[in-house]
Chains A and B, each alone.
Chain A
Amino acid sequence: MRYILSLLIVLTLAPAAMAGYRETFQREFLSKPWAGGPIVEKSACIECHTSDIMKPAFRTIPDEWQGSWHALNEVSCHDCHGGDPKDTSLAMSHVRGFVGKPKYDGVPGYCGKCHIGIMKTYLESGHGKTLKAAKKGPNCVTCHGSHGIQRATIDIINEQSCSRCHSYERAKVMKQALFLTEKKIGEIRSSLKALKNEGIYTAEDEKAVFSTEAEFRTLFHTIDVNLVKDRTDEFTRKLDNIEKTIQSTFSELKVRKNFSAFLTLVFAGLAVVVALLTATYKE
């Protein structure tokens, strides 16, 4: 029996040694996802922009984008700039819809290709009107940045940023008007995340929160404090409703925990009783 086995081992090892020469096979295999390392989808934009022939100022763009909220949500170069990331020679051809860098006052229209609602309110606001009339003033990028864009928070409104153009006073009042609602949204989000991690179905509530938040932030882009204050009640009501369902889910989780704790105790008790019973059969 042992001979058969050793024969088997030798027979399997021999081709193994031969396979060592099949480098192509290996290379192909190592590129598979399980071999470790993330799979990066090839993009002509990124390849060229990270290479040495690129101007240093442009070379950092892919890195900035990598850490951005857009990257996290799979919004890639061509989604804003157009062009063809799969074709190196025509990547920046206008035929393929490449648009490059927009003019300063063209930025709202650029971002507004996707963020329609925000653009609309912005254009009607003081900020937007200034830009249209004077070709200068704050556009989207002034506050949000461009390639490295992060998820918007209330902290974008700060003295340093706003006082580049005007005194902070009015912005401060706006921030205060937003504060409570934003805080509530943040709390609801973290509760939903906690519930989600417990396996609870939260997609519907998450959507409701997102929709409320988006609407609220759209409203804020009017930079009209009175309007925000007037409508805050309405948003609070919506958020309260979501919070109520979250609270009831949390208490449901507590009930579940108590129930399974009870079962733990019952079975532990049964184990003890059976152990004692076993002891009576020792003799």
Chain B
Amino acid sequence: MKRRRVLGILLAVLGSTAAGSLAYPLLRFFAPPARDNKAKSISIKKSDIRLGEAKEIVFNNNPVIVINRHEKGFVAFSKVCTHLGCLVEYDRGLRKLVCPCHAGTFDLDGNVLSGPPPRPLPVIPVKVEGDLVIIG
């Protein structure tokens, strides 16, 4: 009967180890994910980008293009093409964004016009305050 006692203790120890090693992951699993450090917004002067021109900036470690569109105002997109990740270029004449790798083209709302990209370009929120353009 002494053996049974020893085994019982062993069972309790191992059992609580098992329970603990499943409970800890569970706690981590349900704990809210660490929020990304909110990227600081970037502001540039309105006068830096003339009508129909674009400016490239690095926002949150990602290449972003800010365009001052005719009639529709400022807009900012991630430059990473949704097809295979090359960086799209702004074509001022055509008023389009074109990817150099496989000729994916996007309009100035980010929508796919032609080529292989499966999704529109991600839009980065832009606000115009006074003579500043605030990105993010």
Contacts and interface: CB of A to CB of B under 8 A. Distances in A.
A201 interface: no
Interface stretch (A9-17, A47-55, A259-267): A259-267
Nearest to B101: A214
Contacts of B85: 206-208, 210-211
Contact of B103 (A115, A218, A280): A115
B14 interface: yes
Interface residues of B, number: 26
Contact of B115 (A114, A206, A214, A263): A114
A188 to B, nearest CB: 13
Interface stretch (A225-233, A246-254, A268-276): A268-276
A218 B99 CA distance: 13
Contacts of A120: 100
Contacts of B8: 277
Interface residues of A, number: 27
Contacts of B80: 207, 211
Contacts of B17: 266
Interface string B92-112: 000000111111000000000
B113 interface: no
A117 B100 contact: yes
Contacts of A115: 101-103
B15 to A, nearest CB: 7
A219 to B, nearest CB: 12
Nearest to A270: B14
Contacts of B4: 277, 280
A173 interface: no
Interface string A92-132: 00000000000000000000011111101000000000000
A116 B100 contact: yes
A215 interface: yes
B21 to A, nearest CB: 6
B135 to A, nearest CB: 21
Contact of B100 (A218, A273, A277): A218
Interface string B8-31: 101100110110011000000000
A104 B14 CA distance: 76
A118 B101 CA distance: 7
A276 B17 CA distance: 19
B84 interface: yes
Contacts of A262: 21
Interface of B: 1, 3-4, 7-8, 10-11, 14-15, 17-18, 21-22, 80-81, 84-87, 98-103, 115
